[in-house]
Amino acid sequence: MESHESLNDFYERNAPNLMSSCIGINKMGHFNVFSREHCSLLTPYSRRYYYKVSLIIGKGKLHYADKWIKVDRPALLFSNPNIPYSWEADDANQKGWFCLFTDQFLHNGSRMGNLQDSPLFKIGGTPVFFLDEEQQKILSDIYAKMMTEIQSEYIHKYDMLRAYLHLMIHETIRMQPAESFEPYQNASQRVAALFMELLERQFPIDSPAAFLKLKTPNDYAQSLSIHVNSLNRSVKEITGKTTSQQITAKIIQEAHALLTYTDWNISEIAYGLGFEEPAYFTNYFKKQTGITPNALRTNLV
């Protein structure tokens, strides 16, 4: 699984010539819209640090942690930073549009609630909507207006673009989402592999400020957009260890490295590893190793 894709990563991968003019819209957040001619036929399985709405006209497959869906007719896809996915085109004839934006852009001057609570973007929701001819025309018209507006010199064009985005969201909420997701035949192997790779990517901790963000099985389950019971079952079946045991082993391994090879004090190491208090870290480390962090450092001298 690739690392999380930032807006800069997106532009470097798809449209490097647009980076200087499109990255950032000051305090308004970020918004841009493209034809899907800019879309790769195969995108890496990863999380994105931005929201994306795609009108897909072309055949392919959307892959999630433990399920996939075949897109064989026009569809609208909503993706958010908390749900990793990948796109695999079945042919080169890909049409449509997509827009990407930050939460800050959508909520600038708006009363719309948290996007993570929206039925279109929430974890566990269904982000794919197959379209009939009328729905495809409505949404295609909105994208066409977006493409025209973003090239205009109108001083309030981003307010217009935000209004078009709101209109698209409300039009979609009235639709029925797709329910034809298929489980993988080797779902346990896939989930366990994604978990282990995501676990590895949390390390090393480069500074006390870059603290560990995923600390519990539930954290990892949410990041992979699967139920924690499914994650636990898959990891235990494939690795022979529980999810908690795998996480603990990595934290202790990283703690050993930080105690041995850095001059960080115990508090800095504790906070870097996601512990709220140094005492919690000391007790945790001693329970797992039989020795306190200070004692380990003393023995190294």
> Within this chain, do residues 173 and 109 fall inside the same structural domain, yes or no?
yes
> Within this chain, do residues 12 and 137 fall inside the same structural domain, yes or no?
yes
Backbone CA torsion sign across 28, 100, 116, 163: positive
> Within this chain, do residues 198 and 169 fall inside the same structural domain, yes or no?
no
2 assigned to some structural domain:
no
Segment 17-28 shows an average pLDDT of 52
Burial of 27 (0-12, 13-18, 19+ CB in 10 A): exposed
> Residue 50: which CATH number?
2.60.120.280
What residues have CB less than 8 Å from 252, skipping those under 6 apart? Answer: 285, 288, 289
Tell me which residue range forms the domain holding 155.
7-182
Q: What angle do CA 6, 85, 15 make, to 5 degrees?
A: 40
> Within this chain, do residues 121 and 92 fall inside the same structural domain, yes or no?
yes
Q: Of 194 and 293, which is predicted with more confidence?
A: 293
The last residue of one of the domains, among 158, 182, 206, is 182
The answer to whether residue 263 scores a pLDDT higher than 80 is yes
> And the tokens for 78?
């909503």
The structure tokens 């009235």 sit at 174
d(CA 156, CA 274): 43
> And the tokens for 190?
């896939």
Averaged pLDDT of the chain: 85
131 assigned to some structural domain:
yes
> Within this chain, do residues 205 and 68 fall inside the same structural domain, yes or no?
no
Domain count, the chain: 2
Q: What is the pLDDT of residue 179?
A: 64
d(CA 3, CA 40): 17
> Residue 191: which CATH number?
1.10.10.60
> Within this chain, do residues 245 and 261 fall inside the same structural domain, yes or no?
yes
What residues have CB less than 8 Å from 8, skipping those under 6 apart? Answer: 19, 23
Q: What angle do CA 33, 34, 36 make, to 5 degrees?
A: 140
The last residue of one of the domains, among 164, 182, 200, is 182
The answer to whether residue 43 scores a pLDDT higher than 90 is no
The answer to whether residue 1 scores a pLDDT higher than 90 is no
Question: Whose CA is closest to 150, among 161, 142, 139?
Answer: 161
> And the tokens for 264?
């960080």
pLDDT (tens digit per residue) in 50-62: 889 999 999 999 8
51 assigned to some structural domain:
yes
> Within this chain, do residues 159 and 17 fall inside the same structural domain, yes or no?
yes
> Within this chain, do residues 190 and 257 fall inside the same structural domain, yes or no?
yes
SS (H, E, C) 252-295: HHHHHHHHHHCCCCHHHHHHHCCCCCHHHHHHHHHHHHCCCHHH
pLDDT (tens digit per residue) in 84-117: 788 999 988 999 999 999 888 887 655 555 565 5
Specify the amino acid at residue 55. L
> Within this chain, do residues 206 and 144 fall inside the same structural domain, yes or no?
no
127 assigned to some structural domain:
yes
Report yes or no on whether pTM surpasses 0.85: no
Q: What is the pLDDT of residue 18?
A: 54
> Within this chain, do residues 68 and 159 fall inside the same structural domain, yes or no?
yes
Q: Tell me the pairing of strands 182-183 and 67-71.
A: antiparallel
The last residue of one of the domains, among 182, 197, 229, is 182
Segment 104-132 shows an average pLDDT of 70
